[in-house]
Structure 1
Amino acid sequence: MTSGIAKIIFFFTALLLAVIYLSLAGKHNPMLTPAATDPCSETLTLTVGEIDNRYAITETQLEEILAEVAALWSAAAGRQLVAVSDEGRVPVHLIYSEDQARSSLERQQNQRIESMRVELSVLEREYNQAQDRYDTRLDEYNDDARQLQSDVDVLQNWIRQLNAQGGFDEAQIKQLEDRQRQIEIRNRELDRRRILLSSEADELNRQQSYLNGRIAQKNSAIEEYNRTFSGTRRFTQGSYEWHGTQSSINVFHFNGLRELKLVLAHETGHALGIDHVENPTSIMYHLMGNQDLVNIRLSDEDRRALQEVCGFDQNLQ
């Protein structure tokens, strides 16, 4: 978007050319605005202009957003201050720029990071489930191993007692052989389970190593994203321009339809003759970043600025 500084450039034909650039911090000069003598004396009519086909937005979508912007300012004024019409005098153009290409890259990077988050969420869930299964099996194995050792100890004590009493009779020998055979079977089963647990532990280690690697990649992607795209941005996404009696709103880039609505609301404010305000959450603040994109609305400062420009006697809505 643009700042409030208006620049007058005189050509040989004495044509007046003035552009408000939101990216500048200077003051908007209402004397240079075409409707400055009585900016709210008539309805400001917007119309859909040219849309670069590289934008994934239709004329209908843009018209709907413009209608929402018109309703926003009109509600504050208590009358139809802004309207959308096929014959509107202020066309709104979506012009593809290098900034939009950068915004598209930002969106792609953001989608990539979100995709990585989703992947990591699945991997972490699968890893935790596998870890829980392993822990359960390991606890069961340890319980059975302790029980087997206890049974072996009992058997050895029994053998020592019988040896102390003179040895085994035939029935006791058969009993000993049966108990030893059961212990051997249980021991072989424990060995089999131990091998499986060892294999599971190796697989868990591989999963954890892969998971840690993917987490590191995600963190690296986030760091790169923050270095490249983080921070508040000036309203450089668009401008309100006029050439003689002709005016237009040009939008150069935006991240999604909600941000487009904020950009258009800001530029429409300039078209009404409103300068920047000081509240960071205001639509007419010179920086983008603290406004609520989910519920775009005028702040008290925006309303007061509108009242000052339009000279309303009544309280704004």
Structure 2
Amino acid sequence: MGKIFASIKLIVLVAVLGSVFYFYNDTVMMVFRSLNQRYLPCKAPIEYALEEFSPEFGLTEQQFLSAVSEAEKIWETPVAKELFMYKEDGYLKINLIYDYRQEATERLKKLGINISTDKVTYDKLSSQYDSMKNSYNFLKTQYEQALSSFNQRKKAYEERVEYWNSRGGAPKGEYEKLNREKEALDALAEKLNQTAEQLNELAKDINALVSIINQMASALNLDATRYNNINGERGEVFQQGLYKSDIGGQEIDIYQFEDRAQLVRVLTHEMGHALGLEHSEEPTDIMYKLNEGLTEKLSESDISAIQEKCGI
């Protein structure tokens, strides 16, 4: 009787476990892969797939995947192992996301501003910010004065039109005068619209510069007050890329880069996190916490870290 009862318990247990696996298959597999990467790293390649892809970067999917492939080889070479593998349904999702971060970079390029993370560049950009902000404030004051004058003149015109309309129409001379005033007002309105567009573009350029300056202040550990956007908000410090791993899965989001070499570096850094590597404190490392290096090559410290992770 005891054996029968034990057999029944075993059958029930197997059924329960089977049901859990059936209904929570994706979650179970995610946990399994996470544990496998943590405790048995480098035993099997991480399968990745391209998910979200923004064409605004001017890259094709193949060009982007080529950069990903180059980044994976940077990690694979020192250990002579396949650490990553592209698969259309891979569980590591890699996303190329175009937002204000890349827009800021492109705006600064158009302004001829080259970015390098050092104090000299920071001071130069801060000075440029002050100059651009002064130009913006001057143009804004002129615009507001011109707009106020235009509105007063437009109101006077409308009152005259209403006056003559209430009397059945204006005499020929007055009618022609009103037409000339309308043409003048239309020309002024067009000029005001152009100035407003100029202000808007200048504001975007300044806000792009603010993002970069604040990012540099963070990277250089400067005890400096963060600059504000034109709208009065503090400019957000942004990341070029981000690796995320939770119960929902694993993702690498790429937000910003200036050229292909920097794209490869950002990918290499985030893929290092996917391999289980932590940030380092050495600026020459790919895994440096601020990801601000100028090369996509692994440092000796990076190589030691991945070899240790893979048990080599």
- The two structures have a TM-score, normalised by structure 1, of 0.48
| Higher-strand-fraction structure | 1
Greater RCO (CA < 8 Å, at least 6 residues apart): 1
| Higher-helix-fraction structure | 2
Which has more radius of gyration? 1
- The two structures have a TM-score, normalised by structure 2, of 0.49
